[in-house]
């Protein structure tokens, strides 16, 4: 029988009513497939457990904190199994350790090291639906661990890889991955198919449908990943490895992030090591830097410009002021009302001229480009925030993303 892994997040399992809906949607598929269901904790139950811990202290000891949090998924999986069994569909619920999910000992952000699928396969042989608690595992000393944010997606993908499942289906509150955010441009179109790399660039850049880590995992083990709506019908978006026939589309989507801020350090010496002198203290302060541009002037001095997340701007400026001596600059200019817009697509690998097409389009629409950065399958520009909608719409039309 075909093995299919399905993962449902907290919102789609927030009540017994919703769990019943999920269960009745599984009936048909359970007849002809081996189904493995991965669940998050119900609705805000993890938040409630966190709130209990916060009544004690801000930094709970990680081992017992994982023990606390992991109880949430135990509730959702056992309830779904009670529902399925009550409907006459044989099923069994597993905690992370019962499902054979072994991790390292990094509590609160553990990594899966090995999956022993013996128990699951034995249940599949009995034609049972297997329901596994997401987000959790066990380390080599039998301590319960959790995988950190988005951990249930990772659980699902890792199990799909270990079981050589046909597909790993991630049920969310959206119909799939769109060419751009439909709230910004109503001509945004749902994509039927996408490569892992494109999805990584898309989700990293703001289309937050899937956790980056689970996409990386899926890519590493070539697990076909499908994003679907938890309660609406539809085929969602399939994310898989690149194939020849996929070359048709130049650009798959337009991603953007709104929470950017730009810092320009003017008049630094144009000599080796200057970037390190500036970015060293910034990194030490745990501030993440995104785009970096250096312009060399004719006077032997350079302007060094980079972007940071908007909520770290103030801290970054303090670090720069504090390190004025070692950084040796003339002045600092910062700007927070900027955004980053990116076009993403594996097609640009084999097609020249995409970048100039993008820049011409933006120029035609009077959108000034402040910074540019490119990778193999993505071109990003930093522009003024007020131009976000104009830029997204213009590029969407330019690359004909509303048409298949």
Query: Which residue of 68, 293, 372, 390 would you call a contact of its own copies, by CB under 8 A?
Result: 68
The CA radius of gyration of the chain, in Å to the nearest whole number, is 24
As beta bridge partners, residue 265 has 304, 332
Binding residues with its own copies: total (CB under 8 A): 36
- Judged by CB under 8 A, the residue of 18, 21, 63, 310 near its own copies is 63
Q: In angstroms, what is the minimal distance from the CB of 142 to its own copies? A: 6
Least spacing, CB of residue 155 vs its own copies, in Å: 17
CB of 115: closest distance to its own copies in angstroms?
Answer: 15
Q: 305: phi > 0 → left, psi -120 to 50 → alpha, else beta; which?
A: beta
Structure tokens at 291: 């785009």
Nearest to 181 by CA among 273, 91, 257, 287: 257
The secondary element (H helix, E strand) that includes residue 363 is helix 354-364
List 4, 5, 38, 79, residue binding its own copies (CB under 8 A)? 79
Cβ proximity to its own copies, 66 vs 398, nearer residue: 66
Asked if 95 is part of the footprint of its own copies (rule: CB under 8 A), the reply reads yes
Residue count of the chain: 404
Tell me the residue ranges of DSSP E strands in 141-252.
144-146, 167-172, 193-195, 225-229, 237-240
Nearer to its own copies, 46 or 207 (CB): 46
Report helix, strand or coil for 178: strand
Binding mask 16-45 for its own copies (x = CB under 8 A): x---x-------------------------
For 332, the 3-state DSSP assignment is strand
Would you say 71 or 106 has its CB closer to its own copies? 71
Under 8 Å between Cβ of 68 and 9: no
* 117 near its own copies, judged by CB under 8 A: no
Binding site for its own copies (CB under 8 A): 16, 20, 49, 52-53, 55-57, 60-61, 63-65, 67-68, 70-72, 74-75, 77-79, 81-83, 85-86, 91-93, 95, 98, 119, 142, 144
């Amino acid at each position: 029988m075909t093995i299919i892994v399905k993962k449902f997040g907290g919102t789609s399992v927030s009540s017994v009513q919703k769990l019943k809906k999920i269960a009745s949607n599984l009936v048909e598929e359970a007849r002809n497939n081996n189904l493995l269901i991965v669940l998050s904790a119900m609705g805000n139950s993890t938040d409630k457990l966190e709130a209990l811990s916060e009544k004690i202290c801000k930094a709970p000891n990680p081992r017992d904190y994982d023990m606390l949090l992991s109880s949430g998924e135990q509730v959702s999986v056992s309830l779904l199994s009670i529902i399925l069994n009550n409907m006459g569909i044989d099923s069994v619920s597993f905690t992370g350790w019962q499902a054979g999910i072994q991790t390292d000992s990094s509590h609160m952000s553990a990594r899966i090291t090995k999956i022993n699928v013996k128990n699951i396969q034995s249940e599949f042989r009995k034609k049972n639906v297997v329901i596994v608690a997401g987000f959790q595992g066990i380390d080599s000393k039998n301590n319960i661990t959790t995988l950190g944010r988005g951990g249930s997606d990772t659980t699902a993908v890792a199990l799909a890889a270990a079981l050589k499942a046909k597909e790993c289906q991630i049920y969310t509150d959206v119909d799939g991955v769109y060419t751009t955010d439909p709230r910004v441009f109503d001509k945004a179109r749902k994509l039927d198919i996408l490569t892992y790399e494109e999805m990584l660039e898309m989700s990293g850049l703001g289309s937050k449908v899937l956790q980056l880590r689970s996409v990386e995992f899926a890519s590493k083990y070539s697990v076909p990943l499908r994003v679907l709506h938890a309660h609406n019908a539809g085929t969602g978006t399939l994310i898989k490895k690149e194939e020849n026939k996929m070359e048709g589309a130049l650009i798959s989507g337009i991603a953007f992030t709104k929470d950017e801020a730009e810092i320009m350090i003017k008049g630094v010496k144009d000599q080796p090591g200057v970037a390190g002198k500036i970015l060293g203290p910034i990194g030490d302060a745990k501030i993440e830097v995104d785009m970096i541009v250096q312009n060399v002037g004719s006077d032997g001095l350079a302007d060094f410009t980079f972007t940071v997340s908007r909520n770290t701007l103030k801290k970054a400026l303090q670090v720069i002021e504090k390190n004025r001596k070692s950084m040796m600059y003339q002045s600092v200019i910062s700007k927070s009302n900027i955004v980053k817009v990116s076009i993403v697509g594996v097609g640009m690998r084999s097609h020249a001229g995409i970048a100039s097409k993008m820049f011409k389009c933006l120029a035609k629409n009077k959108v000034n480009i402040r910074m540019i950065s490119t990778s193999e399958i993505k071109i990003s520009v930093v522009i003024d925030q007020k131009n976000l909608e104009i830029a997204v719409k213009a590029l969407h039309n330019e690359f004909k993303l509303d048409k298949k």
